[in-house]
Amino acid sequence: MVHDAVKIGIVSVSDRASSGVYEDKGLPALKEWLARALLNPLEFAERLIPDEQAQISATLIELVDAGCSLVLTTGGTGPALRDVTPEATLAVAHKEMPGFGEQMRQISLKFVPTAILSRQVAVIRGQSLILNLPGQPKAIAETLEGLKNADGSQAVAGIFAAVPYCVDLIGGPYLETDDTVCKAFRPKSAIRAASA
């Protein structure tokens, strides 16, 4: 079976990790999850940058212009003074996609009451979907994948279930997921027949 190749931008926003104070865990967590979840051949464009609004915005524009149909950020979405990832993301948006942030907070609220302090946003710029994810690797996986019951059935849908169809609608590549990790949802009319 032939799968569309996809270029994904992954951005870890952290003053301390970008200056070498500690090892970044966001980029490895994003790569590991995406490699498990997607059947497509993947090319990653990775960036580790400080919490600087202008630099974050410029990085997002650069990745979109470089052909990334999906850009995921991690970090900088809380209420602290240096947390400016949502502002930087909204500054480059052509369209806002508020449902993604709402669902991420719903998932995180199952674990911590402070999830309401998270300010993740999702936007479309051109033919790219940009998603702000939480900073912790465990929370990244939970928000992308959702929550499962003890028997493995889906308890709460993760946000990634909606990503492939969103990317379809904005003219991006056809993303195909491993259903055991995250089953993508598309209307029947949008499901592509398997090609040999």
Split at pLDDT 50, 70, 90, the class of 193 is confident
Q: How far is CA 120 from CA 40, 46, 68, 73, 136, in A?
A: 26, 20, 20, 10, 13
Q: Is the pTM of this model over 0.85?
A: yes
Q: Residue 102: phi, psi to the nearest 5? A: -60, -45
Structural domains in the chain, CATH included, are 6-190 (3.40.980.10)
Q: pLDDT, tens digit, for every residue of 59-76?
A: 999 999 999 999 999 999
Mean of pLDDT values over 150-162: 89
Split at pLDDT 50, 70, 90, the class of 195 is low
Please answer whether residues 134 and 14 qualify as being in contact, where contact means their C-beta atoms are separated by less than 8 angstroms.
no
Q: pLDDT, tens digit, for every residue of 169-185?
A: 999 999 999 999 999 99
164-178 burial: b if 16+ Cβ within 10 Å, else e: bbbbbeeebbbbbbe
